[in-house]
C-alpha cells in the first residue's frame, strides 16, 4: 500500500513517542497519559494543506524503547490512523 498508492505518509521514529513512553513508565496509565498519547499521534499524523492529493494513511515507526506503550496506543485505536 505504501509504494503502490504513493499517498501514505511514513513518520520514522518520532521522539515524541519516547516522551510518552518515559511518562508512562514513570507515572503509569492515567487519563492524562492517554490524552498525551492521543494528542501526539494526532500531531504526528496531521494533514498538511500542501499535501495534494490528501494522504490515505499514516505509518509511524517507533523506536524499540517505546514498544511497551503499543498496547496503550492499540487500546485507544491510535496504532493505525487513517484520515486523521
Q: What is the pLDDT of residues 49-80, one digit of tens each?
A: 887 888 877 778 888 888 778 777 775 555 44
What distance lies between CA 81 and its chain's CA centroid?
8
pLDDT tens digits, 39-48? 888 888 888 8
Assigned domain for 83 exists: no
Q: What would the grid cell of residue 21 be?
A: 513512553
Prediction pTM value:
0.71
Give residue 41's domain range. Answer: 2-75
Q: Any long-range contacts for 18-22 (C-beta under 8 Å, 24+ apart)?
A: 18/63, 18/65, 18/66, 20/66, 20/69, 20/72, 21/65, 21/66, 21/68, 21/69
81 within domain boundaries = no
Q: Is residue 7 part of a domain?
A: yes
What's the structural domain count of the chain? Answer: 1
Query: Could you read off the pLDDT of 3-25 as tens digits, one per residue?
Result: 677 777 878 788 888 888 999 98
The answer as to whether 8 is a domain residue is yes
15 located within any domain: yes
Amino acid at each position: 500500500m505504501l509504494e503502490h498508492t504513493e499517498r501514505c505518509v511514513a513518520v520514522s521514529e518520532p521522539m515524541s513517542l519516547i516522551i510518552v513512553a518515559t511518562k508512562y513508565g514513570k507515572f503509569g496509565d492515567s487519563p492524562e497519559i492517554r490524552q498525551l498519547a492521543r494528542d501526539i499521534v494526532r500531531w504526528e499524523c496531521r494533514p498538511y494543506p500542501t499535501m495534494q492529493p490528501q494522504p490515505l494513511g499514516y505509518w509511524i515507526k517507533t523506536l524499540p524503547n517505546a514498544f511497551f506503550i503499543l498496547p496503550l496506543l492499540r487500546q485507544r485505536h491510535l496504532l493505525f490512523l487513517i484520515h486523521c
